[in-house]
Amino acid sequence: MTAKQFPVVLRFEGMNPSDIGGFEAHRYRKYGDLGHIDRDKPKPRLLIGTATWAEEALTEIKLIKMETFAAELTDLDRRNRRKDLKKRRIEGPRDPWRASRHGPLREVLLTANKDWFDETASSDELFNTAREEQFEERAVAWLKENFGDDVIHARADTDEQAYHIHAVIMPRANVHKYGVECQVLQPSVHPLIKDYEAAQDSVGEWFSNVGLVRGEARKQAIRDALNNGKAPPEKRRHVRPAKWREKEELRLATEAAKLETRRRKLSEREEIAEDVIAYADAVSAGDIDEDGKPLSLAAKAGSQITPVRRTGFGFVKARKAFRLVAQRLAQRAEAKAKQAADAGIASEIAGVSKADDIIVEIARLLPKDLRGKIAEVRRKLTAKIMVLNPDLRASELHHRQDGSEKDQQ
Protein backbone atom coordinates (compact mmCIF):
# COMPACT_ATOMS: atom_id res chain seq x y z
CA MET A 1 0.00 0.00 0.00
CA THR A 2 1.41 3.40 -1.06
CA ALA A 3 2.09 5.77 1.84
CA LYS A 4 -0.01 8.93 1.87
CA GLN A 5 1.77 11.99 0.52
CA PHE A 6 1.47 15.29 2.33
CA PRO A 7 2.04 18.64 0.58
CA VAL A 8 4.11 21.43 2.02
CA VAL A 9 1.93 24.51 2.52
CA LEU A 10 3.21 27.96 1.53
CA ARG A 11 1.16 31.13 1.58
CA PHE A 12 1.97 34.82 1.21
CA GLU A 13 -0.25 37.49 2.75
CA GLY A 14 -0.01 41.21 2.12
CA MET A 15 0.98 43.26 5.14
CA ASN A 16 1.19 46.96 5.98
CA PRO A 17 3.56 48.43 8.57
CA SER A 18 0.47 49.31 10.61
CA ASP A 19 -0.25 45.56 10.90
CA ILE A 20 3.01 44.83 12.72
CA GLY A 21 1.65 45.80 16.14
CA GLY A 22 -1.25 43.31 15.93
CA PHE A 23 1.03 40.63 14.49
CA GLU A 24 3.40 41.01 17.41
CA ALA A 25 0.59 41.09 20.00
CA HIS A 26 -0.61 37.75 18.69
CA ARG A 27 2.91 36.37 19.02
CA TYR A 28 2.81 37.23 22.70
CA ARG A 29 -0.79 35.90 22.93
CA LYS A 30 -1.99 39.19 24.40
CA TYR A 31 -5.27 39.59 22.52
CA GLY A 32 -7.00 38.78 19.25
CA ASP A 33 -8.02 35.31 18.08
CA LEU A 34 -6.80 33.09 20.96
CA GLY A 35 -9.56 30.47 21.07
CA HIS A 36 -7.37 27.89 19.33
CA ILE A 37 -4.35 28.36 21.61
CA ASP A 38 -3.35 25.42 23.83
CA ARG A 39 -1.94 26.97 27.01
CA ASP A 40 -0.34 23.67 28.02
CA LYS A 41 1.97 23.64 24.99
CA PRO A 42 5.24 25.59 24.62
CA LYS A 43 4.92 29.22 23.58
CA PRO A 44 6.02 30.44 20.11
CA ARG A 45 9.76 30.17 19.51
CA LEU A 46 11.82 32.86 17.75
CA LEU A 47 13.75 31.54 14.69
CA ILE A 48 14.97 34.63 12.80
CA GLY A 49 15.39 38.21 14.00
CA THR A 50 15.64 39.79 17.42
CA ALA A 51 13.06 40.08 20.17
CA THR A 52 12.64 43.77 19.24
CA TRP A 53 12.32 43.20 15.48
CA ALA A 54 8.97 45.02 15.28
CA GLU A 55 10.32 48.27 16.72
CA GLU A 56 13.43 47.97 14.58
CA ALA A 57 11.36 47.48 11.41
CA LEU A 58 9.10 50.46 12.09
CA THR A 59 12.13 52.63 12.89
CA GLU A 60 13.83 51.58 9.65
CA ILE A 61 10.72 52.33 7.59
CA LYS A 62 10.46 55.76 9.19
CA LEU A 63 14.14 56.41 8.42
CA ILE A 64 13.64 55.39 4.77
CA LYS A 65 10.71 57.83 4.52
CA MET A 66 12.75 60.68 5.96
CA GLU A 67 15.79 59.99 3.77
CA THR A 68 13.63 59.83 0.64
CA PHE A 69 11.82 63.03 1.66
CA ALA A 70 15.14 64.82 2.22
CA ALA A 71 16.36 63.67 -1.20
CA GLU A 72 13.15 64.98 -2.83
CA LEU A 73 13.42 68.39 -1.15
CA THR A 74 17.10 68.68 -2.09
CA ASP A 75 16.24 67.88 -5.71
CA LEU A 76 13.47 70.51 -5.83
CA ASP A 77 15.78 73.10 -4.29
CA ARG A 78 18.56 72.23 -6.75
CA ARG A 79 16.15 72.73 -9.65
CA ASN A 80 14.85 75.97 -8.11
CA ARG A 81 11.26 74.67 -7.85
CA ARG A 82 10.34 77.01 -5.01
CA LYS A 83 6.57 76.61 -5.27
CA ASP A 84 6.74 72.80 -5.34
CA LEU A 85 9.33 72.84 -2.56
CA LYS A 86 7.01 74.83 -0.31
CA LYS A 87 4.08 72.56 -1.11
CA ARG A 88 6.03 69.35 -0.37
CA ARG A 89 7.33 70.73 2.91
CA ILE A 90 3.74 71.26 3.99
CA GLU A 91 2.61 67.81 2.81
CA GLY A 92 5.48 66.00 4.54
CA PRO A 93 7.07 62.58 3.85
CA ARG A 94 5.36 60.01 1.65
CA ASP A 95 5.35 56.26 2.06
CA PRO A 96 8.39 54.73 0.32
CA TRP A 97 6.32 52.18 -1.58
CA ARG A 98 3.72 52.06 -4.31
CA ALA A 99 0.22 52.13 -2.86
CA SER A 100 -1.67 48.83 -3.20
CA ARG A 101 -4.27 46.85 -1.31
CA HIS A 102 -1.64 44.25 -0.34
CA GLY A 103 0.83 46.59 1.34
CA PRO A 104 4.64 46.61 0.96
CA LEU A 105 5.45 43.77 3.40
CA ARG A 106 4.70 40.06 3.14
CA GLU A 107 3.73 37.61 5.84
CA VAL A 108 4.79 34.05 5.05
CA LEU A 109 3.12 30.91 6.37
CA LEU A 110 4.91 27.56 6.13
CA THR A 111 3.39 24.33 7.43
CA ALA A 112 2.14 20.84 6.57
CA ASN A 113 -0.74 18.61 7.53
CA LYS A 114 -0.96 17.84 11.25
CA ASP A 115 -0.93 14.09 10.50
CA TRP A 116 2.51 14.41 8.93
CA PHE A 117 3.91 16.04 12.07
CA ASP A 118 2.22 13.42 14.27
CA GLU A 119 3.84 10.48 12.46
CA THR A 120 6.66 9.01 14.56
CA ALA A 121 9.23 6.32 13.99
CA SER A 122 8.44 4.80 17.38
CA SER A 123 4.98 4.39 18.88
CA ASP A 124 6.56 4.52 22.35
CA GLU A 125 7.30 8.23 22.02
CA LEU A 126 4.52 10.36 23.41
CA PHE A 127 5.78 13.70 22.18
CA ASN A 128 8.00 13.22 19.18
CA THR A 129 9.30 16.49 17.71
CA ALA A 130 11.59 14.99 15.08
CA ARG A 131 9.31 16.06 12.23
CA GLU A 132 9.03 19.58 13.63
CA GLU A 133 12.80 19.85 13.88
CA GLN A 134 13.25 18.61 10.29
CA PHE A 135 10.62 21.03 8.99
CA GLU A 136 12.02 23.95 10.97
CA GLU A 137 15.56 23.40 9.71
CA ARG A 138 14.41 23.27 6.08
CA ALA A 139 12.08 26.28 6.49
CA VAL A 140 14.72 28.57 7.98
CA ALA A 141 17.19 27.57 5.27
CA TRP A 142 14.63 28.17 2.49
CA LEU A 143 13.70 31.61 3.83
CA LYS A 144 17.32 32.76 4.10
CA GLU A 145 18.23 31.27 0.72
CA ASN A 146 15.47 33.09 -1.14
CA PHE A 147 14.96 36.31 0.82
CA GLY A 148 18.25 36.87 2.64
CA ASP A 149 18.30 39.73 5.13
CA ASP A 150 14.83 40.82 4.05
CA VAL A 151 13.47 38.09 6.35
CA ILE A 152 13.26 40.33 9.39
CA HIS A 153 11.32 37.89 11.56
CA ALA A 154 10.39 34.22 11.75
CA ARG A 155 8.89 32.21 14.57
CA ALA A 156 7.55 28.70 15.17
CA ASP A 157 4.05 28.44 16.64
CA THR A 158 3.94 25.24 18.67
CA ASP A 159 0.89 25.92 20.82
CA GLU A 160 -1.76 25.56 18.11
CA GLN A 161 -3.34 22.54 16.45
CA ALA A 162 -0.57 22.06 13.88
CA TYR A 163 3.02 23.21 13.98
CA HIS A 164 3.65 26.12 11.59
CA ILE A 165 6.06 28.96 10.94
CA HIS A 166 5.26 32.65 10.47
CA ALA A 167 7.76 34.96 8.81
CA VAL A 168 7.80 38.62 7.77
CA ILE A 169 9.61 39.88 4.68
CA MET A 170 10.54 43.54 4.22
CA PRO A 171 11.46 43.69 0.49
CA ARG A 172 14.08 46.43 0.26
CA ALA A 173 15.04 47.75 -3.14
CA ASN A 174 17.28 50.58 -4.34
CA VAL A 175 16.01 52.87 -7.09
CA HIS A 176 17.49 55.96 -8.73
CA LYS A 177 15.29 58.98 -8.10
CA TYR A 178 15.75 62.65 -7.20
CA GLY A 179 19.25 62.36 -8.63
CA VAL A 180 20.40 59.87 -5.96
CA GLU A 181 19.98 56.24 -4.91
CA CYS A 182 16.92 55.88 -2.69
CA GLN A 183 15.65 52.88 -0.82
CA VAL A 184 12.02 51.74 -1.28
CA LEU A 185 9.91 48.76 -0.33
CA GLN A 186 9.09 46.75 -3.44
CA PRO A 187 7.70 43.18 -3.13
CA SER A 188 8.37 42.34 -6.78
CA VAL A 189 12.09 42.60 -6.13
CA HIS A 190 11.87 38.96 -5.02
CA PRO A 191 11.06 36.53 -7.86
CA LEU A 192 9.17 34.14 -5.58
CA ILE A 193 6.81 36.89 -4.42
CA LYS A 194 6.34 38.05 -7.99
CA ASP A 195 5.64 34.51 -9.27
CA TYR A 196 3.47 32.43 -6.91
CA GLU A 197 3.74 29.24 -8.98
CA ALA A 198 7.54 29.53 -8.96
CA ALA A 199 7.41 29.85 -5.17
CA GLN A 200 5.34 26.66 -4.93
CA ASP A 201 7.81 24.82 -7.18
CA SER A 202 10.72 26.06 -5.09
CA VAL A 203 9.30 25.10 -1.70
CA GLY A 204 8.08 21.74 -3.02
CA GLU A 205 11.55 20.82 -4.23
CA TRP A 206 13.19 22.17 -1.07
CA PHE A 207 11.08 20.04 1.28
CA SER A 208 11.10 16.89 -0.86
CA ASN A 209 14.02 15.43 1.10
CA VAL A 210 11.85 15.28 4.25
CA GLY A 211 9.00 13.47 2.47
CA LEU A 212 6.75 16.40 1.59
CA VAL A 213 5.54 17.18 -1.94
CA ARG A 214 4.52 20.27 -3.86
CA GLY A 215 0.94 21.46 -3.47
CA GLU A 216 -1.56 21.32 -6.32
CA ALA A 217 -0.38 23.10 -9.48
CA ARG A 218 -3.60 25.05 -10.04
CA LYS A 219 -2.44 27.18 -12.94
CA GLN A 220 -1.28 24.10 -14.81
CA ALA A 221 -4.58 22.38 -14.03
CA ILE A 222 -6.44 25.39 -15.46
CA ARG A 223 -4.31 25.38 -18.60
CA ASP A 224 -4.82 21.64 -19.10
CA ALA A 225 -8.58 21.95 -18.65
CA LEU A 226 -8.84 24.81 -21.16
CA ASN A 227 -6.66 22.96 -23.69
CA ASN A 228 -8.93 19.91 -23.38
CA GLY A 229 -12.11 21.94 -23.72
CA LYS A 230 -13.16 21.35 -20.11
CA ALA A 231 -14.31 23.75 -17.44
CA PRO A 232 -11.36 24.94 -15.33
CA PRO A 233 -11.39 24.13 -11.61
CA GLU A 234 -13.03 26.76 -9.44
CA LYS A 235 -10.72 29.27 -7.87
CA ARG A 236 -10.28 28.56 -4.19
CA ARG A 237 -10.19 31.58 -1.96
CA HIS A 238 -7.87 31.29 0.98
CA VAL A 239 -9.57 32.23 4.22
CA ARG A 240 -7.35 33.61 6.94
CA PRO A 241 -7.19 31.25 9.95
CA ALA A 242 -8.79 33.84 12.23
CA LYS A 243 -11.73 34.28 9.85
CA TRP A 244 -12.13 30.52 9.42
CA ARG A 245 -12.07 29.98 13.19
CA GLU A 246 -14.58 32.80 13.68
CA LYS A 247 -17.00 31.19 11.21
CA GLU A 248 -16.39 27.73 12.66
CA GLU A 249 -17.01 28.94 16.22
CA LEU A 250 -20.23 30.62 15.06
CA ARG A 251 -21.32 27.43 13.29
CA LEU A 252 -20.58 25.30 16.36
CA ALA A 253 -22.38 27.77 18.64
CA THR A 254 -25.41 27.71 16.34
CA GLU A 255 -25.45 23.90 16.30
CA ALA A 256 -25.10 23.82 20.10
CA ALA A 257 -28.03 26.23 20.45
CA LYS A 258 -30.17 24.05 18.17
CA LEU A 259 -29.29 20.93 20.15
CA GLU A 260 -30.09 22.70 23.42
CA THR A 261 -33.46 23.83 22.03
CA ARG A 262 -34.25 20.27 20.94
CA ARG A 263 -33.17 18.92 24.32
CA ARG A 264 -35.43 21.37 26.15
CA LYS A 265 -38.39 20.58 23.90
CA LEU A 266 -37.83 16.85 24.39
CA SER A 267 -37.58 17.34 28.15
CA GLU A 268 -40.81 19.33 28.15
CA ARG A 269 -42.57 16.67 26.07
CA GLU A 270 -41.35 13.93 28.39
CA GLU A 271 -42.62 15.89 31.40
CA ILE A 272 -45.99 16.47 29.71
CA ALA A 273 -46.20 12.78 28.79
CA GLU A 274 -45.54 11.80 32.40
CA ASP A 275 -48.31 14.15 33.56
CA VAL A 276 -50.74 12.78 30.98
CA ILE A 277 -49.96 9.18 31.93
CA ALA A 278 -50.38 9.97 35.64
CA TYR A 279 -53.64 11.77 34.87
CA ALA A 280 -54.91 8.80 32.83
CA ASP A 281 -53.94 6.38 35.59
CA ALA A 282 -55.77 8.51 38.15
CA VAL A 283 -58.90 8.73 35.97
CA SER A 284 -58.91 5.00 35.21
CA ALA A 285 -58.46 4.21 38.92
CA GLY A 286 -61.37 6.46 39.87
CA ASP A 287 -59.22 8.89 41.87
CA ILE A 288 -60.30 11.90 39.76
CA ASP A 289 -62.90 12.63 37.11
CA GLU A 290 -62.14 13.80 33.58
CA ASP A 291 -62.07 17.42 34.87
CA GLY A 292 -59.34 16.56 37.37
CA LYS A 293 -61.61 16.85 40.37
CA PRO A 294 -61.01 14.36 43.21
CA LEU A 295 -63.64 11.65 43.69
CA SER A 296 -64.69 10.08 46.94
CA LEU A 297 -62.99 6.85 45.87
CA ALA A 298 -59.66 8.65 45.98
CA ALA A 299 -59.69 8.42 49.73
CA LYS A 300 -59.73 4.64 49.68
CA ALA A 301 -56.94 3.05 51.67
CA GLY A 302 -53.92 1.56 49.95
CA SER A 303 -54.26 3.57 46.71
CA GLN A 304 -50.95 3.37 44.79
CA ILE A 305 -51.81 5.92 42.11
CA THR A 306 -49.05 8.45 41.47
CA PRO A 307 -50.15 11.91 42.64
CA VAL A 308 -51.09 14.19 39.75
CA ARG A 309 -49.29 17.54 39.53
CA ARG A 310 -52.21 19.94 39.20
CA THR A 311 -49.93 22.83 38.20
CA GLY A 312 -48.15 21.04 35.37
CA PHE A 313 -48.72 21.84 31.71
CA GLY A 314 -49.34 18.12 31.18
CA PHE A 315 -52.19 18.27 33.70
CA VAL A 316 -53.88 21.03 31.69
CA LYS A 317 -53.43 19.17 28.40
CA ALA A 318 -54.62 15.90 29.90
CA ARG A 319 -57.68 17.53 31.47
CA LYS A 320 -58.57 19.17 28.18
CA ALA A 321 -58.05 15.90 26.31
CA PHE A 322 -60.14 13.92 28.77
CA ARG A 323 -62.92 16.52 28.66
CA LEU A 324 -62.94 16.32 24.88
CA VAL A 325 -62.92 12.53 24.89
CA ALA A 326 -65.70 12.40 27.51
CA GLN A 327 -67.77 14.88 25.51
CA ARG A 328 -67.33 12.90 22.30
CA LEU A 329 -68.13 9.62 24.03
CA ALA A 330 -71.29 11.15 25.54
CA GLN A 331 -72.38 12.51 22.16
CA ARG A 332 -71.66 9.17 20.52
CA ALA A 333 -73.65 7.28 23.19
CA GLU A 334 -76.53 9.72 22.87
CA ALA A 335 -76.57 9.40 19.09
CA LYS A 336 -76.42 5.63 19.33
CA ALA A 337 -79.30 5.53 21.82
CA LYS A 338 -81.37 7.87 19.64
CA GLN A 339 -80.65 5.73 16.60
CA ALA A 340 -81.74 2.61 18.48
CA ALA A 341 -84.88 4.34 19.78
CA ASP A 342 -85.78 5.64 16.32
CA ALA A 343 -85.35 2.15 14.90
CA GLY A 344 -87.67 0.73 17.61
CA ILE A 345 -90.33 3.40 17.03
CA ALA A 346 -90.21 2.85 13.30
CA SER A 347 -90.70 -0.84 13.85
CA GLU A 348 -93.64 -0.21 16.20
CA ILE A 349 -95.23 2.25 13.78
CA ALA A 350 -94.88 -0.23 10.95
CA GLY A 351 -96.67 -2.82 13.07
CA VAL A 352 -99.45 -0.42 13.99
CA SER A 353 -99.84 0.64 10.37
CA LYS A 354 -100.09 -2.97 9.30
CA ALA A 355 -102.74 -3.61 11.98
CA ASP A 356 -104.62 -0.50 10.86
CA ASP A 357 -104.74 -1.82 7.31
CA ILE A 358 -106.27 -5.01 8.59
CA ILE A 359 -108.84 -3.03 10.64
CA VAL A 360 -109.86 -1.04 7.54
CA GLU A 361 -110.37 -4.23 5.56
CA ILE A 362 -112.47 -5.73 8.34
CA ALA A 363 -114.49 -2.50 8.74
CA ARG A 364 -115.62 -2.69 5.15
CA LEU A 365 -117.39 -5.94 5.95
CA LEU A 366 -119.24 -4.60 9.00
CA PRO A 367 -122.59 -2.77 9.22
CA LYS A 368 -122.55 1.02 8.88
CA ASP A 369 -123.10 1.84 12.56
CA LEU A 370 -120.17 -0.36 13.58
CA ARG A 371 -117.95 1.16 10.92
CA GLY A 372 -118.55 4.62 12.49
CA LYS A 373 -117.36 3.44 15.88
CA ILE A 374 -114.24 1.92 14.29
CA ALA A 375 -113.51 5.24 12.50
CA GLU A 376 -113.67 7.09 15.84
CA VAL A 377 -111.19 4.67 17.36
CA ARG A 378 -108.85 5.10 14.40
CA ARG A 379 -108.79 8.90 14.83
CA LYS A 380 -107.50 8.45 18.39
CA LEU A 381 -104.96 5.93 17.11
CA THR A 382 -103.68 8.48 14.53
CA ALA A 383 -102.95 11.05 17.25
CA LYS A 384 -100.90 8.52 19.22
CA ILE A 385 -98.89 7.53 16.13
CA MET A 386 -98.06 11.22 15.47
CA VAL A 387 -96.71 11.54 19.01
CA LEU A 388 -94.42 8.55 18.44
CA ASN A 389 -93.16 9.79 15.08
CA PRO A 390 -93.72 13.51 14.33
CA ASP A 391 -91.92 13.08 10.98
CA LEU A 392 -94.71 10.88 9.71
CA ARG A 393 -97.01 13.11 7.73
CA ALA A 394 -100.52 13.32 9.13
CA SER A 395 -101.91 13.43 5.59
CA GLU A 396 -100.95 9.78 5.14
CA LEU A 397 -102.92 8.74 8.20
CA HIS A 398 -105.87 11.01 7.35
CA HIS A 399 -105.86 9.54 3.87
CA ARG A 400 -106.30 6.12 5.39
CA GLN A 401 -108.98 7.52 7.68
CA ASP A 402 -110.87 9.26 4.85
CA GLY A 403 -110.86 6.05 2.89
CA SER A 404 -112.33 4.25 5.87
CA GLU A 405 -115.08 6.88 6.33
CA LYS A 406 -116.04 6.61 2.67
CA ASP A 407 -116.44 2.90 3.16
CA GLN A 408 -118.95 3.64 5.96
CA GLN A 409 -121.25 5.48 3.59
298 vs 303: CA distance, rounded Å: 7
What is the chain's pLDDT, residue by residue, as a tens digit (409 residues)? 456 788 999 999 999 999 998 888 766 665 555 555 556 666 788 999 999 999 999 999 999 999 999 999 999 999 999 999 999 999 999 999 998 888 999 999 999 888 888 776 554 444 557 888 999 999 999 999 999 999 999 999 887 777 889 999 999 999 999 999 999 999 999 999 999 999 999 999 999 988 888 877 655 555 555 566 666 666 655 555 556 556 656 776 788 788 888 888 887 777 766 666 776 677 666 676 666 677 664 444 444 444 455 555 556 666 666 666 666 666 777 787 788 777 777 776 676 677 667 767 766 666 766 666 667 666 666 665 555 555 554 445 455 555 545 554 5
Question: Which pTM does this prediction carry?
Answer: 0.55
pLDDT at 143: 96
pLDDT at 394: 47
Three-state secondary structure of the chain: CCCCCEEEEEEEEEECHHHHHHHHHHHCCCCCCCCCCCCCCCCCEEEECCCCHHHHHHHHHHHHHHHHHHHHHHHHHHCCCHHHHHHHHHHCCCCCCCCCCCCCEEEEEEEECHHHHHCCCCCCCCCCCHHHHHHHHHHHHHHHHHHHHHEEEEEEECCCCCCEEEEEECCEEEEEECCEEEEEECHHHCHHHHCHHHHHHHHHHHCHHHCEECCCCHHHHHHHHHHCCCCCCCCCCCCCHHHHHHHHHHHHHHHHHHHHHHHHHHHHHHHHHHHHHHHHHHHHCCCECCCCCECHHHHCCCCCCCCCCCCCHHHHHHHHHHHHHHHHHHHHHHHHHHHHHHHHHHHHHHHHHHHHHHHHHHHCCCCHHHHHHHHHHHHHHHHHHHHHCCCCCHHHHHHHHHHHHHHHC
pLDDT at 96: 93
pLDDT at 113: 86
**Torsion sign (Cα): 262, 267, 268, 273:** positive
